[in-house]
Amino acid sequence: AQKVTQAQTEISVVEKEDVTLDCVYETRDTTYYLFWYKQPPSGELVFLIRRNSFDEQNEISGRYSWNFQKSTSSFNFTITASQVVDSAVYFCALSEVRGGGADGLTFGKGTHLIIQP
Amino acid sequence: EAQVTQNPRYLITVTGKKLTVTCSQNMNHEYMSWYRQDPGLGLRQIYYSMNVEVTDKGDVPEGYKVSRKEKRNFPLILESPSPNQTSLYFCASSLSAGTGWEPQHFGDGTRLSIL
């Protein structure tokens, strides 16, 4: 069965520091998709990135970057020069194609990131 | 504006009193699903629907029912709520099932408290 592990329950850093959130996944499928979502204190879920299992290129979007390594089954997320507005809970998620074709998301338990001013 | 709308946003009720949380999307999405979020457990899928009249159980379906009579609506029904169903609930939709290419769009969440 699929599983997503976010070992860091909570991380606290001072503003402007770089921070990396770890995500390790387990799946028996060769085709799967990985996601990161942000949940700010207001509670909504904000989609950040999607990556398919055939694309191991790292991605950078502004201060955000993602490192996908199939060899270690990891999909880590780095925030460069963190800001207070980055404070949130971040979820890593995995999507497989189930027997019926539906692709439910399996979420990690989340990492609570606290950026101190 | 493309959105997933859940109602109510907050509800406090008592054990055994049937309740329905509505979910509606305006993007003509085929795939809809419900998740619950609990502290330390992340989000877990309750039920999903691949299209009208097609629903199936997720990882934690016990105590819940759903229906998909129209493409845009996917209500979550708690026939006899119990305190262990106190949680934050999210409805989500995506264009189609089975690809993963489309990220799921989430509603703003419904916080249920069952006393």
Instruction: With beta carbons under 8 A apart, name residues in chain B contacting A32.
Output: 100
Instruction: With beta carbons under 8 A apart, name residues in chain A contacting B94.
Output: 103
Q: Which residue is associated with the tokens 């609570």? A: A112
The pLDDT value given to residue A53:
87
Kindly determine whether residue B42 and residue A109, on different chains, have CB atoms separated by under 8 Å. yes
| Chain B 47-106, residues with CB within 8 Å of chain A CB atoms | 48, 50, 56, 58-59, 88, 90, 92, 94, 97-101, 103-106
CB A19 within 8 A of CB A112: no
User: How far is the C-alpha of A93 from the C-alpha of B34, rounded, in Å?
Assistant: 15
Residue B100 is nearest to which of A4, A91, A95, comparing CB atoms? Answer: A95
Q: Cα separations (Å) of B26 from A59, A115, B10, B20, B93?
A: 30, 36, 22, 20, 10
CB A20 within 8 A of CB A71: no
Distance from CA of B75 to the nearest CA of A (A): 17
The pLDDT value given to residue A100:
47
Strand (E) positions, chain A?
3-5, 10-14, 19-21, 24-26, 32-39, 46-52, 59-61, 64-69, 74-79, 88-96, 105-107, 111-116
Distance from CA of A112 to the nearest CA of B (A): 11
Q: What are the residue ranges in chain B where pLDDT is below 50?
A: none
Q: Where does chain B have alpha helices with state H?
A: none
For residue A59, what pLDDT band results from cuts at 50, 70 and 90?
A: confident
pLDDT tens-digit map of A1-27: 789 999 999 999 999 999 999 999 999
Kindly determine whether residue A107 and residue B104, on different chains, have CB atoms separated by under 8 Å. no
B39 interfacial to chain A (CB closer than 8 Å): no
Kindly determine whether residue A103 and residue B45, on different chains, have CB atoms separated by under 8 Å. no
Residues 6+ apart with CB under 8 A from B62: none
Q: By CA distance, what is A4's nearest residue in B?
A: B42
Residue A97 is nearest to which of B59, B90, B100, comparing CB atoms? Answer: B100
The pLDDT value given to residue B97:
60
CB B75 within 8 A of CB A70: no
pLDDT tens-digit map of A74-101: 999 999 999 999 999 999 999 876 554 4
Residues 6+ apart with CB under 8 A from A69: A56, A75
Kindly determine whether residue B108 and residue A44, on different chains, have CB atoms separated by under 8 Å. yes
User: How far is the C-alpha of A96 from the C-alpha of B82, rounded, in Å?
Assistant: 31
What 8-state DSSP symbol labels residue A104?
P
For A84, phi then psi, to 5°, come to -55, -35
